Amino acid sequence: MSGIYIHIPFCLSKCAYCGFYSKPSLKQKDAFREALGREIVSRKDYLHGEPVETVYFGGGTPSLLMVDEIGALLDLIKKHYELAPDPEITLEANPDTLSLEYLKGLRALGVNRLSIGIQSFFDNDLKYLSRRHDSQHARQCVKMAKDTGFENISIDLIYGLPTSDADQWNKNLDLFFEMNVPHLSAYALTLEPNSILTKQIDLGKALPVNEEDAVRDYEILCRRAAENGFLHYEISNFCKPQHQSRHNSSYWSHIPYAGFGPSAHSFDGVSRQWNSSSLDWYNQKIESESLTPEQQYNEYVMLKLRTMWGIDLKYIKRELGERFSTHCERQAEPLITQGRLSKTREFLYLTDNQMLFADGVAEMLFW
Ligand code: SF4
């Protein structure tokens, strides 16, 4: 099993809060596509012929590529990699780039999962985030996606916004659940260093972000998701049964993946590689690191603690050795006493009220 990630580094404009690598111009799109195609072919042995179960177009705004441009990339993958019989093929899309015609074209190519960056169904939130779409278009594009036969749809929402209160966040969730969409990714608004929003807040030109709003909204989110039959399978991800993102789940399960395009990361099962964050990435050295057993342990703890599957102590003992499983158990003991972790048989889980503090708890378990 393996996966492929393709980073499309273009957007029509830069959102105020954005911390991703993307360029607010399409001027270099053709040169980029050519370089991307060369990279996909030249690294064809990276996955050692493992069947590719998932392909993920992320960005940036992948829906800025034309249908035939996405088709050409998928053709290259089919030609040079072993595509599994029923692959999950996801494309991230922004509402302002979607049309009925475009969605039909994606379906015809075999794209079978859409991740739509809606962020909020309210115009005051969208304006604060400087998104290009409005609430009406946010609703329309979900309907269009369903009308063209997309069943596997995920919506991104952002919570903890100073333009929203608990009532508005609840209404956002009402709209999401009414749409009968099987997957939700919800992220707290974070202030990225050097983002436009961070600068605006520093200058007093935008409303400041309050961490307590994020805690309040997250509690509402977890409760409403459970009431609506959604599994909380990762800190920021919720789905109806059988609708986990297969691609993201494979990251948390240490399945190898190849990442193409600027800033994309790859993992071959032993070491990690990452491309430079530049449109000239193809001419630059791929950075690489092999993980020591201590780093492998820390990474396993950090990734698994975020999921509903938890930390498997037997897995740690088997794959990394007893000294790591013993260390993990010893470090976990006070956290279990404090109610921050729970233990069921050989698995350690975050308790519900610790979900937002996963990174801090993981650090306490680190080697
Ligand atoms: S659409 Fe996404 S990647 Fe592009 S600027 Fe906005 S947040 Fe960043």
Token pair recorded at residue 326: 């013993």
Distance 95 CA to ligand 1 centre (A): 12
CA–CA dist 55, 115 (Å, integer): 13
Distance 242 CA to ligand 1 centre (A): 28
Amino acid letter for position 285? K
Question: Ligand 1: which residue has its CA nearest to atom 8?
Answer: 18
Chain segment 43-71, per-residue pLDDT in tens: 999 999 999 999 999 999 999 999 999 99
Amino acid letter for position 5? Y
Model confidence at 229: pLDDT above 90: yes
We find that the CATH architecture of domain 2-251 is Alpha-Beta Barrel (3.20)
Model confidence at 355: pLDDT above 90: no
Chain segment 120-177, per-residue pLDDT in tens: 999 999 999 999 999 999 999 999 999 999 999 999 999 999 999 999 999 999 999 9
Distance 314 CA to ligand 1 centre (A): 40
How confident is the model over 297-313, as a mean pLDDT?
Answer: 95
Distance 336 CA to ligand 1 centre (A): 39
CA–CA dist 81, 48 (Å, integer): 9
Question: Ligand 1: which residue has its CA nearest to atom 7?
Answer: 18
pLDDT at 283: 85
Beta-bridge partner residues of 307: 234
* Mean pLDDT score across all residues of the chain: 95
Checking DSSP bridges between strand 113-119 and strand 287-290, what pairing results, if any?
Answer: unpaired
Do 2-251 and 292-367 share a fold?
A: no
Chain segment 320-352, per-residue pLDDT in tens: 999 999 999 999 999 999 999 999 989 999 998
Distance 11 CA to ligand 1 centre (A): 6
pLDDT at 136: 96
Question: Ligand 1: which residue has its CA nearest to atom 5?
Answer: 14
In the CATH scheme, what is the code of domain 292-367?
A: 1.10.10.920
Ligand 1 pocket, residues with Cβ under 6 angstroms: 11, 14-15, 18, 20, 22, 59-61, 94, 117
Burial of 291 (0-12, 13-18, 19+ CB in 10 A): middle
The preferred substitution site among 14, 185, 192 for testing ligand 1, maximizing ligand atoms within 8 Å of CB, is: 14
- What stretch of H or E contains 230? none
DSSP 25: -
Distance 323 CA to ligand 1 centre (A): 43
pLDDT at 138: 95
The preferred substitution site among 7, 8, 10, 11 for testing ligand 1, maximizing ligand atoms within 8 Å of CB, is: 11
Chain segment 76-101, per-residue pLDDT in tens: 999 999 999 999 999 999 999 999 99
What are the extents of the domains in the chain? 2-251, 292-367
The preferred substitution site among 8, 10, 20 for testing ligand 1, maximizing ligand atoms within 8 Å of CB, is: 20
Q: Which residue is it, tokens 């909020």?
A: 120
pLDDT at 347: 97
Model confidence at 287: pLDDT above 90: no
Angle, nearest 10°, between helix axes 100-109 and 135-147? 40
